[in-house]
Amino acid sequence: MSFDPIVQKSISEQVAQRLLTMIRSGLLKPGQQLPPERELAAMLGVGRPAVREAIRGLALLGLLRIRQGEGTFVGKLETRELLEPLEMIIDLNAGTLEALFDARLIIETGVAALAATHMAQEEIERLTRNVDDEARLLSDPAAFAAADVEFHEAIIEACDNPFLQSIAGSLYMLGKKSRTITSRIPATLERSLQDHRDILTALKARDPQQASEAMRTHLIRVRDAYRGAAQNKDESVHD
């Protein structure tokens, strides 16, 4: 039997952990400005380099915001802001985007099934208007993409489960790169519109299984469209 040695945290890691604890506890609130590096180092009893490194690390995670000439501020801590570092990872790693599609297939199909049993009539009407808007926006990819976001967000909200809402909402927002690519393909927009109509039909019928399958079909088609677009892009680069 062997044991791994205990690794002592660096000073900068301890500073980052202290700041993170203060953020979690509410001692440091969103938008609040941190003391200057020199003061913060004196307050914590450490050197300025350790404070600087800790701040940079937390800034990369979106927990802190560094404004040149102004100072360092606690981030807004909103979901979309905190997802920005992960969006960068997805931009740099196609394999990560594939894994994201797998996660969405598991989570969003279940969310659609749950929404079918919880969705109120006014939410059905909201989705109906949304799909009607999409039909008018087929020639405007950017506007269609915005309507697509509203469609999926409405279903996520309707599932009436805060844990699934948080997870599904985060996964959907991280798929921004794939939507940027697929929204440029007219045939993909037309298929997405029909998929949304099918999902809406299942939700109107209050049929969880049908809603889940309709969402699965939609996500698989979007994934395949992304794969095809990405492959064509790679081939054009190597031609």
Q: Where are the domains of the chain?
A: 11-76, 82-238
The Cα 136–Cα 140 span in angstroms is: 9
Contact predicate 46/15, CB 8 Å: yes
The Cα 150–Cα 126 span in angstroms is: 10
Contact predicate 168/108, CB 8 Å: yes
Tell me which DSSP letter residue 33 carries.
B
Model confidence band, residue 134 (pLDDT cutoffs 50, 70, 90): very high
Give the per-residue pLDDT at 75. Answer: 83
Average pLDDT, the chain: 84
The topology (CATH level 3) of 82-238 is Four Helix Bundle (Hemerythrin (Met), subunit A) (1.20.120)
The Cα 137–Cα 149 span in angstroms is: 13
Copy the structure tokens of residue 146.
């915005």
Give the per-residue pLDDT at 175. Answer: 72
Give the per-residue pLDDT at 59. Answer: 83
Length of the chain, in residues:
239
Model confidence band, residue 202 (pLDDT cutoffs 50, 70, 90): very high
Question: For domain 11-76, which CATH number applies: 3.40.50.300, 1.10.10.10, 2.40.37.10, 1.10.357.140?
Answer: 1.10.10.10
pTM: 0.65
Task: Encode pLDDT of 23-76 as tens digits.
Answer: 888 898 989 999 999 999 999 999 999 999 889 888 877 788 888 889 999 987
CA 213 to chain centre: 23
How many C-alpha atoms does 212 have within 13 Å on its Cβ side? 11
Q: State which amino acid sits at residue 98.
A: E
Model confidence band, residue 185 (pLDDT cutoffs 50, 70, 90): low
Mean pLDDT within 136-142? 89
Mean pLDDT within 79-100? 64
